[in-house]
Structure 1
Amino acid sequence: MIVPEGFRNIRFVGHTDQGGRGDGVQVMVHRGHAYVGTHVSRGIMVTDVRDPRSPKPVNFVPTHPNSVCMHLQVAEDLLLNIQEADQKALLTAEEYYGGSNQVDSRRFGRRGQDYAAGMTVYDVKDPANPRRIGFMEVEGLGIHRIWWVGGRYAYASALLDGFTDHILIVIDMADPTQPREVGRWWIPGMFAAAGETPTWTERYALHHAIVVDDFAYGSWRDGGLTILDVKDKSAPKLIAHRNWCPPFGGGTHNAVPLHDRNLLVVADEATLNIDQQQMKHTWVFDIREKSNPVSIATMPTPSDQDYVKLGGQFGPHNLHENRPGSWQSSSIIFATWQSAGVRAFDITNPFRPEEIGFFVPPQPKKWMEPMRGRAKIRHTADLFVAADGLIYATDYDAGLYIMQWEGA
């Protein structure tokens, strides 16, 4: 039985250490099975969660041993999984998050042999046994994260040869055995091979974009937020670019649009220990006029215990992204806060967000993720909230937690 360090309106249901592979990052749930991308284990964990009180690991799908595979998407009985050379294996956290520069992919060896770079497609009609059916290689270090909710087009962040860091690419999924790139967009200054020169010193890199109604909301780490018109998949067009770094600390991670209310929720990721960087925030934007997004509020910082004194990475990481078929709400927002676990916020009044629930798991008993300067503190990483309010949350070290939302 897991005893949380604290909870409110979120009840513990089940937990698994994923058969000893506890290094979980992104999680998707499909046909009663959870798919978790890993960073250290170099593969995809498949867990039967049909009984959420007793989740059972049923498969491990290995990927390239020198590439990370931590992000994935599932829709239409297909699973898309990223493959990217493990830059963190050669860089400190400060180097990785500290700034962009054109990376020579040859430093990592021969693409396709020494590392994999691209997107793998699996058939998951048999949910416990993903079957590889396709792969799209990219010329560079790989893909970091994907947005795909079914349909013809997927959107990914890719670190391609010639660019200073990850840019947006549009992928045609008409034939899932042969996905292909059909469009791309980057912040001017990123295409070093074409002679472009950055006007910044921070890290401008697309973490990923969420696409709704042919608008792509891109999170660019220290480069802030972009809103793009992607009706023409071959030629995305910039509508707005806003950046608040500096004076704020950057690390913009994901931006969740709530089109029915003309709102956008944007999380800035805490990437270092709290004593190494300023507090990060989750912002609420008014996007009634998409060419002029305006920040109108920030989510409250968790205060049920002294997380700053506790140390470690304290701040936002990921938001539940309101995928079709999952929990969809324009007033209750779920987020992971790393050392502060899972948080629930009410933005019924978007000018005064309130925290209305939380679940803080115990400290891990086994440390999977290489520390590389990270303090030994729990790291609640990603989450998926099902339509029935079951919350699936991963930890860098401790596997998969399942909880039940019991709020209003």
Structure 2
Amino acid sequence: MARTKNTKQLAHIDCPGGGQVWVDGTTLYIGHMRQPTGTTIVDVADPARPKILTKVELPAGWHSHKVRVANDIMIVNHERQGTDGVAEFGGGLGIYDVSKPAEPKLITKWRTHGKGVHRYDFDGRYAYISPTAEGYIGNIAMILDLKDPAKPEEVGRWWIPGQWKAGGEDYPWDNWTPPRCHHPLRVGDRLYVSYWHHGFYILDISDMSKPKAISGVNTSPTFPHPTHTCLAIPEPLKGRKVMVVADEDVAKLWPAAPAFTWIYDITNEHLPIPISTFQVEGVDPDGAPQPPMRGCHQPSERFKGTIIPFAWFAKGLRILDIADPFAPKEIAFFEPDPPEGFELASSNDVTMDSRGLLYLIDRQRGVDIVETSVL
């Protein structure tokens, strides 16, 4: 039986597990973790009675676990998964016309070298992506212009100096985990970029052709979890500009307690300073090492005011109020039952629609549609 506080389940969609959910209007898009299912499109006009409209499938050896939609354009990632399947399928982005959601039409595939694209942001014109690229070690940050979706054009790219092997840069991480751009998110003329075990960077993209680093912070190896998402809050809180930084409870550099989320003061962009943290009560009682996927995963990229929903792996949906950024507090939660055959839930992503409804996907199986009284 699910545990709840200020939340109510409206419906459950039985589908393969996934990496991301996104809602455009009254249509839900689900990016799945494992092929053959790539993307499922669902009508949620009646959230208590969701209807699956169609599915987009992928060949073995690839997945498209991320999906974003704007202006009737759907972007899904193509990323290598395992060693099976046809290498010629290739990594990159699938770009679709979803003006009729039940009939998605492939416009084109943007291809990149190597493993493919992991995560990205998309505002309807520009995509801010984390691809592997020829001549580079690890994923980098890149901006694509989709003014003509049939002909995506690279606008600019940025990487940590040392990644560009083909450019002759000295590589300083032989005894460290390789750099990997994980997730760029844009707010105004800034790009907030998580870089896995290399922390995060704030980039000035006022000239998109020449992104410039303003600052960077890395809490590894003191804290051994990778940096997953950097969510800048548009409005000041207590007179300060702040950013939520989520560490993901996977890929630990050494055995450790579960990952948590940070709040940084970025009023001075050249010197980001952590001012608070949050961990779900009871998850880390004594600081002892625990298996992965007990702690934080990521916040919703859509939120309302100071109320931010989180996917917290085994602890499901957590909803935080950061009105006081020095003391974030939990105001609601929804802890789903584990999928059949699994001991724990594995809540991987959450998003919000224009009605304030929340969509929580499990990494292994299923999506819950949740109503809350705090939004």
Please say if residues 300 and 355 of structure 1, whose CA atoms lie closer than 8 Å, have aligned partners that are also in contact.
Answer: no
Separation of aligned partners in 1, 2:40 and 2:223: 36
Separation of aligned partners in 1, 2:105 and 2:341: 30
Q: 1:15 aligns with which of 12, 34, 47?
A: 12
Indicate whether 1:303 and 2:282 are aligned. yes
Please say if residues 219 and 253 of structure 1, whose CA atoms lie closer than 8 Å, have aligned partners that are also in contact.
Answer: yes
Indicate whether 1:158 and 2:131 are aligned. yes
Following TM superposition, by how much is the alpha carbon of 1:9 offset from its aligned partner in structure 2, in angstroms? Answer: 1.1
Please say if residues 77 and 92 of structure 2, whose CA atoms lie closer than 8 Å, have aligned partners that are also in contact.
Answer: yes
**Equivalent residue for 1:125?**
99
Per-residue displacement from partner, 1:158-189 (whole Å, max 9, x unpaired)?
Answer: 11232221100110111101112221100111
Letter aligned with residue 21 of structure 2: V
Following TM superposition, by how much is the alpha carbon of 1:275 offset from its aligned partner in structure 2, in angstroms? Answer: 9.7
Following TM superposition, by how much is the alpha carbon of 1:253 offset from its aligned partner in structure 2, in angstroms? Answer: 0.7
**Equivalent residue for 1:401?**
368
State TM-score, norm by structure 1. 0.84
Following TM superposition, by how much is the alpha carbon of 1:51 offset from its aligned partner in structure 2, in angstroms? Answer: 1.5
Please say if residues 283 and 295 of structure 2, whose CA atoms lie closer than 8 Å, have aligned partners that are also in contact.
Answer: no
Q: 2:293 aligns with which of 313, 321, 325?
A: 313
Q: 1:280 aligns with which of 251, 259, 264?
A: 259
Q: 1:224 aligns with which of 169, 178, 199?
A: 199
Letter aligned with residue 54 of structure 2: N
Please say if residues 61 and 85 of structure 2, whose CA atoms lie closer than 8 Å, have aligned partners that are also in contact.
Answer: no
In the comparison of the two structures, how many residue pairs are matched?
Answer: 367
The 3-state SS of whatever aligns with 1:141 is coil
**Equivalent residue for 1:382?**
349
**Equivalent residue for 1:247?**
222
Letter aligned with residue 160 of structure 2: I
Separation of aligned partners in 2, 1:300 and 1:306: 10
Q: 2:167 aligns with which of 194, 211, 218?
A: 194
Separation of aligned partners in 1, 2:90 and 2:279: 40
Indicate whether 1:214 and 2:189 are aligned. yes
Separation of aligned partners in 1, 2:268 and 2:231: 16
Please say if residues 274 and 312 of structure 1, whose CA atoms lie closer than 8 Å, have aligned partners that are also in contact.
Answer: no
Separation of aligned partners in 2, 1:23 and 1:143: 19
- Cα distance change, pair 110–64 in 1 and its aligned pair in 2 (3 A): closer
Please say if residues 273 and 311 of structure 1, whose CA atoms lie closer than 8 Å, have aligned partners that are also in contact.
Answer: no
**Equivalent residue for 1:95?**
none
**Equivalent residue for 2:148?**
175
The 3-state SS of whatever aligns with 2:309 is strand
* Structure-to-structure mapping, 1:43-58, within 5 angstroms: 43-58=38-53
Separation of aligned partners in 2, 1:166 and 1:141: 9
Following TM superposition, by how much is the alpha carbon of 1:50 offset from its aligned partner in structure 2, in angstroms? Answer: 1.4
Separation of aligned partners in 2, 1:310 and 1:225: 25
Letter aligned with residue 62 of structure 2: S
Please say if residues 137 and 178 of structure 2, whose CA atoms lie closer than 8 Å, have aligned partners that are also in contact.
Answer: no
Per-residue displacement from partner, 1:133-180 (whole Å, max 9, x unpaired)?
Answer: 1211112221111101223x2110011232221100110111101112
Separation of aligned partners in 2, 1:203 and 1:339: 28
Separation of aligned partners in 2, 1:130 and 1:306: 48
* Greater CA drift, 186-195 or 288-297: 186-195
**Equivalent residue for 1:69?**
64
**Equivalent residue for 1:352?**
327
**Equivalent residue for 1:237?**
212
**Equivalent residue for 2:33?**
39
Please say if residues 331 and 374 of structure 2, whose CA atoms lie closer than 8 Å, have aligned partners that are also in contact.
Answer: yes
- Cα distance change, pair 180–65 in 1 and its aligned pair in 2 (3 A): farther
**Equivalent residue for 2:304?**
328
Please say if residues 59 and 86 of structure 2, whose CA atoms lie closer than 8 Å, have aligned partners that are also in contact.
Answer: no
- Cα distance change, pair 128–83 in 1 and its aligned pair in 2 (3 A): same
Letter aligned with residue 177 of structure 2: E
Following TM superposition, by how much is the alpha carbon of 1:311 offset from its aligned partner in structure 2, in angstroms? Answer: 5.5
Per-residue displacement from partner, 1:89-133 (whole Å, max 9, x unpaired)?
Answer: 25xxxxxxxxxxxxxxxxx8875x2x3211111111112221111
**Equivalent residue for 2:118?**
144
Separation of aligned partners in 2, 1:312 and 1:362: 18
The 3-state SS of whatever aligns with 1:193 is helix
Percentage of pairs with the same residue:
32
Separation of aligned partners in 1, 2:27 and 2:326: 38
Separation of aligned partners in 2, 1:109 and 1:366: 27
Please say if residues 144 and 156 of structure 2, whose CA atoms lie closer than 8 Å, have aligned partners that are also in contact.
Answer: yes
Following TM superposition, by how much is the alpha carbon of 1:342 offset from its aligned partner in structure 2, in angstroms? Answer: 0.6
State TM-score, norm by structure 2. 0.92
- Cα distance change, pair 7–172 in 1 and its aligned pair in 2 (3 A): same
How large is the Cα RMSD of the aligned pairs? 2.3
The 3-state SS of whatever aligns with 1:204 is coil
* Structure-to-structure mapping, 1:70-85, within 5 angstroms: 70-85=65-80
Following TM superposition, by how much is the alpha carbon of 1:306 offset from its aligned partner in structure 2, in angstroms? Answer: 7.7
Following TM superposition, by how much is the alpha carbon of 1:199 offset from its aligned partner in structure 2, in angstroms? Answer: 2.8
- Cα distance change, pair 311–141 in 1 and its aligned pair in 2 (3 A): closer
Per-residue displacement from partner, 1:248-293 (whole Å, max 9, x unpaired)?
Answer: 1131111111121111001000115999433212110111111111
Per-residue displacement from partner, 1:335-366 (whole Å, max 9, x unpaired)?
Answer: 11100101011111111111111111101115
The 3-state SS of whatever aligns with 2:235 is helix
Following TM superposition, by how much is the alpha carbon of 1:203 offset from its aligned partner in structure 2, in angstroms? Answer: 4.0
Letter aligned with residue 120 of structure 1: G
Please say if residues 53 and 101 of structure 2, whose CA atoms lie closer than 8 Å, have aligned partners that are also in contact.
Answer: no
Following TM superposition, by how much is the alpha carbon of 1:406 offset from its aligned partner in structure 2, in angstroms? Answer: 1.2
Separation of aligned partners in 2, 1:347 and 1:126: 38
Letter aligned with residue 15 of structure 1: H
The 3-state SS of whatever aligns with 1:205 is coil
Letter aligned with residue 65 of structure 1: A
Letter aligned with residue 171 of structure 1: L
The 3-state SS of whatever aligns with 2:181 is strand
Separation of aligned partners in 2, 1:110 and 1:304: 41
Unaligned runs of 5+ in 1: 91-107, 368-375
